Amino acid sequence: MISRRAFLETLAVAAASPMVRMQTGSGEWGSPVFDLHFHLRPQPANNLAHLDGAGITSANLLTRAGAFDQVKAVQAAAPGRFTWFSSADVTKPEAEATLTQAVKDGARGFGEMKFHVAADGPELRRMYALAAELQVPILIHFQEVDHFPNEGTWSTGFARTFEGILKAYPKTIFIGHADAFWANVSADYHNEAAYPAGPIKRGGITDRLLGDYANLYGDLAANSGNNAMTRDPEFTSGFLGRHQNKLIFGSDCSCADGRGAGISQSNNPAASRLAGKCVARETLTALKKSVPAATFRKLVWDNAHTLLKIPV
């Protein structure tokens, strides 16, 4: 016989468990949701505030080298709700050792990788080889257009050179993210704006590479992903359907409460269209209205679990 107190404790644990929510199929999105692209916040409670406020079940923490103790604290505060990736400065000789140790400590991937180097340069090539060796995915920020003066560019050359990288590293699982990855869904893009608007010209590089290369996935996070998926609704439904096993929901949202309070896109003036909004909520809404329920569930839950090898 179970005591009343033990029974109440069981209920409390069950209520906090993503598995239970998943089984009930409840939650405001009609499916459990996993956020692939969630930057670690120093206070455990602030991480949970965003997930709970946006109706998100669990998330992948993107961390910098040396964050393992913080990751452990967040995981302890909410068992079962957080996985993590680690990045390391790719220009430093110790990057490979740092990332190898992170994977030994439980990191499920590299990311986000955001450095002022070329996408096909020697610094990132070392990381591509290591990701294949350790059998973890690598999440890359591609950006060719400054958001503010002197910001600089990140993992440059996506449109020109990345197909060669996909061919050269067939055993590396790449997750594409950010401005250049998403602007290149349109065939008429030539680095003229960070976030191009208007109808999408079919046959863009990103669309083609996702179709042609089994080792490329796409992270739907941030203003870049949201912008690409809201420019041209007819394109969006077709694109999400074509690549329904290779696209993964992420937020990259920095709002405080999962409802748009605070600053959602790190004061990026080019992303002012999402000011006062929660990127997670905006993108989940766009995805949900663009695809059938079974596809939505793949984008926001199943694909991430398969790719990150997270037991369900």
Distance CA 269, CA 187 (A): 25
- Residue 172 or 223: the one with the smaller Cβ distance to Zn ion is 223
- Residue 179 or 232: the one with the smaller Cβ distance to Zn ion is 179
Q: Which one among 59, 62, 102, 178 touches Zn ion, defined by CB under 5 A?
A: 178
Task: State the minimum distance, in angstroms, from the CB of residue 245 to Zn ion.
Answer: 23
Task: State the minimum distance, in angstroms, from the CB of residue 191 to Zn ion.
Answer: 17
Task: State the minimum distance, in angstroms, from the CB of residue 253 to Zn ion.
Answer: 3
Distance CA 123, CA 58 (A): 32
DSSP letters, 77-112, are HSTTSEEEEE---TTSTTHHHHHHHHHHTT--SEEE
The yes or no reply on residue 240 touching Zn ion (CB under 5 A) is no
**CB proximity list for 267: less than 8 A, separation 6 or greater:** none
Q: In the window 248-307, what residues touch Zn ion (CB under 5 A)?
A: 253, 255, 278, 280
- Residue 111 or 295: the one with the smaller Cβ distance to Zn ion is 111
- Written as six digits, the tokens of 87 are 């990045």
Distance CA 14, CA 3 (A): 16
- Residue 78 or 178: the one with the smaller Cβ distance to Zn ion is 178
CB of 98 within 8 A of CB of 136?
no
Residue type, 82: F
Q: Which one among 21, 108, 141, 246 touches Zn ion, defined by CB under 5 A?
A: 141
- Residue 255 or 308: the one with the smaller Cβ distance to Zn ion is 255
List residues binding Zn ion (CB under 5 A).
141, 178, 253, 255, 278, 280
